[in-house]
Amino acid sequence: MGHQGSYSNTAADRAIRAIDRKREQERKHMLHMAYQHAEDLAVQLVQKLLDDHIIEISSDKAIKELVADRLKKLSEMEEFDIQFKTAPLRGLVSDPNFLSLYFTQYIIEDLLDHPKVQDVFGDDATIYRAVDSVFSKIRPR
């Protein structure tokens, strides 16, 4: 009888490692771009959320600063913390943008409690689409 064991160099394992490497490279690229362009992305995101009537705020400057600060701090966060934050929304779309998932959950959980935010409207998918329309621009294809 032949040996039946798992070989770590099968085609499936190589494909999985290649996908993991690609996702990690994408993640690093997006975190770098988010850090580098935090102010511009914050302006675009807050404007999109306002235009789509997703958030109602009393100070757009304060929220833009908050979003820009969060974008800059993301590169310093542990992978576990990002995964934990995005976990409730992972099944929302196929091939999700991790940055869009993170900010969707951030808006739903944390931004809602900010004193300058009066209300957040829309379901998870609506908020995700608005957020992703901004962050998809920095996602490599």
pLDDT digits (tens, 9 = 90+) for 55-69: 999 999 999 999 999
User: Which of 34, 49, 35 is closest to 138 using CA atoms?
Assistant: 34
> In this predicted model, what pLDDT tens digit does every residue of 107-116 receive, in sequence order?
999 998 999 9
pLDDT band at 4 (very low <50, low <70, confident <90, very high): low
| Strand duo 117-120 + 55-57: pairing | antiparallel
Q: Cβ-count burial of 93 within 10 angstroms (0-12 exposed, 13-18 middle, 19+ buried)? A: middle
pLDDT band at 8 (very low <50, low <70, confident <90, very high): low
Q: pTM, whole model, 2 decimals?
A: 0.85
pLDDT band at 70 (very low <50, low <70, confident <90, very high): very high
pLDDT > 70: what percent of the chain? 94
Average model confidence (pLDDT) for the chain? 90
pLDDT band at 41 (very low <50, low <70, confident <90, very high): very high
Cα separation, 108 vs 94, in Å, equals: 20
